[in-house]
Structure 1
Amino acid sequence: MVPDEHRGGRGSSFSGTPDGGPARPGAGPSLAQWWQANEPDTYAGPNGYAPRALHGRYMQFVLETVEAGLPPHAVLHRVRGEVTDLERTMDGYRLSLADGSALDADRVVLTTGHTTPELSGQQKTLAEFAAAHPDVRYVRGDSAADMPLAEIPAGSYVGVLGLGLSFYDVMAALTLGRGGRFTEGADGRLAYEPSGDEPVLVAGSRSGMPLPARGRNQKHHDFRYSTLLFTADRVRAQSPDGTCDFNRDALPLLLAEVELVYFRTEIRLASGEERAAAFTADVVSAAEHGVPDVRAIAARHDVGGLPPVDLESLARPFTGRVYDSPEAFAKDLDEALRDDLAHAERGNVDSPLKAALDVLRDTRGIIRGLVDFAGLTPRSHRTDFLGWFVPRSSFLAAGPPMIRLRQVAALIDSGHLRIVGPQTCFEGDEDSGRFAMSSPAVAGSRTLVDTVIDARIPTPDVHRDPAPLTRRLVERGIWTSYVNGRGDEAFDTGGVFVTRAPFHPVGRDGQPDEGLYVLGIPTEHTRWFMQGGSSRPGFWTDFVQDADAIAAAALTVPEREPIAVGTGAAIGRADGDQ
């Protein structure tokens, strides 16, 4: 099986570059450098994409390097087991493990990652149908590497819910991972050569479009984009009461920034850097008086005729279209795939569209600063940001490498993949005892399948997380969910309520537990985009800065007051050792 949604190979988990000495904390190879040195036969170059499995081996190397470089007074004890409970003790915490053993700790950092929440809505209905019909199966949303994909019979029909990054993982696992291979023809188009062990994939989503490809990388690994229009100060100036409305205060400036890059790229390619700089100066000057009309300024520079960068139409390209047959939809889909690949091949510097969409990635830090800890009004947070913007920006800015989209086209050509259409519906069909898929926009699209795989990573929510540890933390009031706002407008985010750095959980009593820290996925929606982890030497991402803040706090020895117990006896730790 090939669980390999590719990642850029340029990130590093070391804070400094190699310096000629042994790899150690502060000086070690990036993923790309380690890949080239240790697995040169598969190395895809400095701008290549590394398989998940290789990234995992790199992270194992990082862990071993950190362990070997610990100072003499520090020891790493690796404990393999599931923590099922956490209780406060007189001077720390006791962690209970599934095997009945326990660990005592002074501080605890909770980095529990992705969860598999209790099923609800459509997912619950599909799972219940599968439970009542023994000849079909439902595979819940999870990492593809953790799905029971090996159990799916060759030749069976498999419905895939979702066309995002996890779809590509599932697709690869059930084709390349089953012994199939892709070959390139004289026209550059891939062809799929089946092994005979793969199933037939039938996929669908709201958009009906596989996640578009990332542009071919043309940027140096140290590149950092500095915004000219979309800044936190400008956005906050639009909301004098201090709480932003995303659509009113932030989105217009963000879209103006996207359009600035879009038209500037076209002008640079057509007329050179000097003309591009003049256009940029005109836009920045106009921004002194409010959100600039970038398209109108571009028209004065003779490039106003480019198609608009419309996030809605780009993310939902088939909306409003009706097809009289699956073949008609497949023709439009093939055209959309070819068009996206053409933009991606031009690169993330020389394609106006891909360069513009990179702005959605490059501004995540600014957006996070505006959104985190109830920076938006409750309605705007729930509806404008999480409901509308996040799905579309993720769709347009988090794509796979081009090879994956080329493989999609090859699998469609070979008949091993069919994409049903937009607004795909999944339901149990009692007459056949199988699942049925269809698109209301595509006549004749109804297809029966034996398995449905939910190829979407579940959204974290402390209320729906069945993990024993989460249940105990919530029951004990150690973890609570973060609520944006009060009264009828209140939005319960489902993310763990934490303080600002170093991110102590805030309990049911409203007080932070200063011996506990929470990092990453569990805090999603209290904060935003907690999935990122890798960084670059000399530049720490927000996630790495968060981790560093927690480490600094956890290693600080506090002054301990004696703890009064019973009838006046005082018990304390005289040395304060951690």
Structure 2
Amino acid sequence: MSRTPPSPSPSRSLGVVGAGPRTLVLLQRLGAQHAAADDGSVLDVHVVDPYDSGAGRVWRQAQDPLLWMNSRAADISVLPDESVTGLAEPVLRGPSLAGWVHENRADLVHDAAAAGDDLLREEVLRHEPGSFTSRRLASGYFADAWARTLAGLPAGVRVHRHARTVLDLTDDPRDGRQVLHLAGQEETLTVDAVLLVQGHLDVRPGPRERRIATFARTHGLAYVRPGYTGDQDLDVLRPGSDVVVVGMGLAFVDLVVRLTEGRGGRFTERPDGSLDYHPSGREPRLHVGSRRGVPYRSKIGYETPKDLGLPRHYSAQTVADLHGDAPLDLRADLWPLIVKELAGAHYRELFRSHPGRTALAAAEFDARFSRAAWGSAEVDDLVERSVPDPADRFDAAELDRPLDGWWGTSGDEVHERVLQHLEDDRTRRADARHSPDAAVVAALLSAYVVTAGLHAAGRLNARSSALDVDGWWHGFFSYVASGPPPQRLRQLSALARAGLLRFLGAGLNVVADPGAGSFTASSDSGPHEVRAQGLVEARLPVPDLERTSDVLLTRLRERGDVRAHQVLDGETRLSNGRLVVDGRGRLVRDDGSPHPRRFATGAWVSGEGAAAAFARPGTNAELFRRADRLAADLLRAGTSAPPTPRSVPTALSELPGDRR
């Protein structure tokens, strides 16, 4: 009697372009979703990226050892802990960055010593949960998490690494499967669906940058345009030269590190905890300013208050109660709610932890504050009567723009004002007597999540979705909640007192001055001017699909297979340069139709400019559930029908389902 041979197991395949932390988390969730399907299929996942597995470009091991992460080790994880719920099983749980260093300290010290790497050895020895880890040490954590993830994948899930660059992505005309064309490889890679998760990309110089570069070459000056600081050529900035730096965020901090310690200078600590800088003589003199004129706020140096009950005043429900389903303006409709959320968290923490600085029962204040509209005379009167010291009151305008309305009589006065602000901010954010500041940061994180949800649901109007979410709003969030480690601000103070760093103030204006043959900088904070032989734009390039240097996105754009986020505000066309995806994360083509087998997530996707790549332990982080949903959508797309024909072009202001 003959037997019918068993049917071969069905197989599916996915391509993932990018191997950074988001891909690491996605692989965990793909494994769980595949196991949940329990259909006996085989899943092949092809991950394509020339950089390190799990770390990608930004967190790769081969980079300047002086560059740090900007979050505490205890606040970084790519593996779920016990607080994370709502995930498909199995869940691969594991340590945070801090836990990994603690568990592996002896081996890490041994390996660093064997390699003769004293800097890394000393870092590991003194590493604590509150440490700000070097990026190359963090790359070891991501590599270990990658290995754990692959080892924990269920049977039938196979990951294939391709250390190459993707040059193109096309449809197979026979069945609609996706064909990846890799650099240096004649054979193509065919998969059922593709996810682009490329992180921060470079852009080609635009007309303004080209004009500046031409001026610099003509007059023998130096110019460093926007880019990832760790990869930029800073040798063009000559020792002893005067250099204007535009921008005071995280890229600025990395720039300063590379031009000071990176050129052989060193810091020593005084008995009072402040620092002295001992120059090598190879440093340029940096003159720095920005729109705000002050550095990003220091990271909080103590434990964030718990149980703040967030959100309270700004949630999807409160927005719906106030505005129904009308299009929302981020500044006009949502900002008052956001500020009330921040102020509410500030005062709840003040009344709870510092009652001696208040003049009303906490419950009564909270009840009256909750009923009143932010900005009303009722709130102003309540705060004035209940919080005697003005220094204990929440001031959103002062928090955001501390130099607004102030004018110094000289460059020295402006410099000293900014330096004092920097030192006061660092001191305040290390002092738990000011714990309402930490409550504001927690409330801002909550507000960021709410805003992202409203944006993803298509609730924001054209101007807000195109310009404000990834522009003004993201900038405010980064300035308040995503600043540098306190130690970096101590170093900035030391450099300022050593005469190597000068603060120019707010409203910085830089012109190419052909008469003087230099760059000339001035600000709105005083009458001073600086002439310089160099100019650095210390920021990441603004995403711009039209100018990306990424070959893959360029080719997709040229064929109309992707589109930048564009909307019409009246007769004005607005764009933020980022990729448009629909509510499931599928790439939207230039005619408004989503490609059923192509997905994207990350920094270059509209509305995701600051989407977290890491999870904060103990917070039931949404990062993992979001990856879970994306993994499920990818697997469904891998069994879908061939791509649908392109739809009839849709009006820019009426694209359904755009994640804006």
TM bin (shorter chain): 0.7 to 0.9
Deviates more, 1:238-247 or 1:209-218: 238-247
Q: Does 1:126 align with 2:126?
A: no
The one of 230, 248, 257 equivalent to 2:332 is 248
Q: What displacement does 1:170 show?
A: 0.8
Distance 2:443 2:207 in 1: 34
Distance 1:155 1:394, change over 3 A: same
Distance 1:49 1:224 in 2: 25
Aligned match of 1:546: 626
**Aligned 8 A contact 1:263 1:303 in 2:** no
Distance 2:377 2:526 in 1: 40
Distance 2:430 2:612 in 1: 26
Distance 1:240 1:355, change over 3 A: closer
Distance 2:498 2:230 in 1: 25
Name the TM-score, length of structure 1 as normaliser.
0.86
Distance 1:486 1:342, change over 3 A: closer
Letter in 2 for 1:511: S
Aligned match of 1:573: none
Q: In the TM superposition, what whole-angstrom CA distance separates every residue of 1:63-84 from its partner, at most 9, and x where no partner exists?
A: 2222233334332222112111
Q: Does 1:139 align with 2:224?
A: yes
Q: Does 1:279 align with 2:365?
A: yes
1:360-399 matches, within 5 Å, as 360-372=444-456, 374-382=458-466, 388-399=472-483
- Runs of 5+ unmatched residues, structure 2: 1-63, 84-89, 110-121, 644-660
CA RMSD in angstroms, aligned pairs only: 3.1
**Aligned 8 A contact 1:264 1:280 in 2:** yes
**Aligned 8 A contact 1:83 1:97 in 2:** yes
**Aligned 8 A contact 1:113 1:521 in 2:** yes
Distance 1:545 1:103 in 2: 29
Aligned match of 1:428: 512
Aligned match of 1:326: 411
Aligned match of 2:320: 236
1:71-470 matches, within 5 Å, as 71-89=154-172, 90-91=174-175, 92-101=177-186, 102-120=188-206, 122-133=208-219, 135-150=220-235, 152-219=237-304, 226-271=310-355, 275-286=361-372, 293-303=378-388, 305-306=390-391, 309-347=394-432, 350-372=434-456, 374-382=458-466, 388-449=472-533, 451-470=534-553
SS at match of 2:502: strand
Q: What displacement does 1:112 show?
A: 1.7
Distance 1:104 1:327 in 2: 63
Aligned match of 1:488: 571
Q: What displacement does 1:365 show?
A: 0.6
**Aligned 8 A contact 2:325 2:459 in 1:** no
Distance 1:433 1:545, change over 3 A: farther
Distance 2:395 2:209 in 1: 31
SS at match of 1:495: strand
Aligned match of 1:7: 71
Distance 1:559 1:80, change over 3 A: closer
Distance 1:562 1:390 in 2: 38
**Aligned 8 A contact 2:92 2:149 in 1:** no
Distance 2:637 2:333 in 1: 43
Letter in 1 for 2:73: G
The percent of aligned pairs where both chains have the same amino acid is 30
**Aligned 8 A contact 1:155 1:197 in 2:** yes
Distance 1:130 1:266 in 2: 52
The one of 588, 597, 617 equivalent to 1:506 is 588
SS at match of 1:104: strand
Letter in 2 for 1:518: A
Q: In the TM superposition, what whole-angstrom CA distance separates every residue of 1:406-425 from its partner, at most 9, and x where no partner exists?
A: 11111000011112222222
Q: What displacement does 1:151 show?
A: 5.2
Distance 1:158 1:548 in 2: 47
Distance 1:354 1:14, change over 3 A: closer
Q: What displacement does 1:266 show?
A: 2.9
Distance 1:354 1:475 in 2: 46
SS at match of 1:482: strand
Letter in 1 for 2:501: L
Q: What displacement does 1:398 show?
A: 1.6
Aligned match of 1:28: 94
Distance 1:363 1:240, change over 3 A: closer
Distance 2:504 2:639 in 1: 63
Aligned length: 550
**Aligned 8 A contact 2:302 2:430 in 1:** no
SS at match of 1:7: coil
**Aligned 8 A contact 1:298 1:304 in 2:** no
**Aligned 8 A contact 2:545 2:564 in 1:** yes
Q: What displacement does 1:26 show?
A: 0.8
Distance 1:188 1:472 in 2: 54
Distance 1:561 1:323 in 2: 66
Q: Does 1:59 align with 2:156?
A: no
Deviates more, 1:490-499 or 1:165-174: 490-499
Distance 1:74 1:223, change over 3 A: farther
Q: In the TM superposition, what whole-angstrom CA distance separates every residue of 1:413-442 from its partner, at most 9, and x where no partner exists?
A: 001111222222223232454333332533
**Aligned 8 A contact 1:163 1:209 in 2:** yes
Letter in 1 for 2:151: A
Aligned match of 1:568: none
Letter in 1 for 2:239: A
Distance 1:98 1:434 in 2: 42
SS at match of 2:287: strand
SS at match of 1:393: helix
Distance 1:377 1:562 in 2: 33
**Aligned 8 A contact 1:533 1:544 in 2:** no
Distance 1:393 1:74, change over 3 A: closer
Aligned match of 1:21: none
**Aligned 8 A contact 1:260 1:294 in 2:** no
Name the TM-score, length of structure 2 as normaliser.
0.76
**Aligned 8 A contact 1:6 1:52 in 2:** no
SS at match of 2:553: helix
Distance 1:375 1:293, change over 3 A: farther
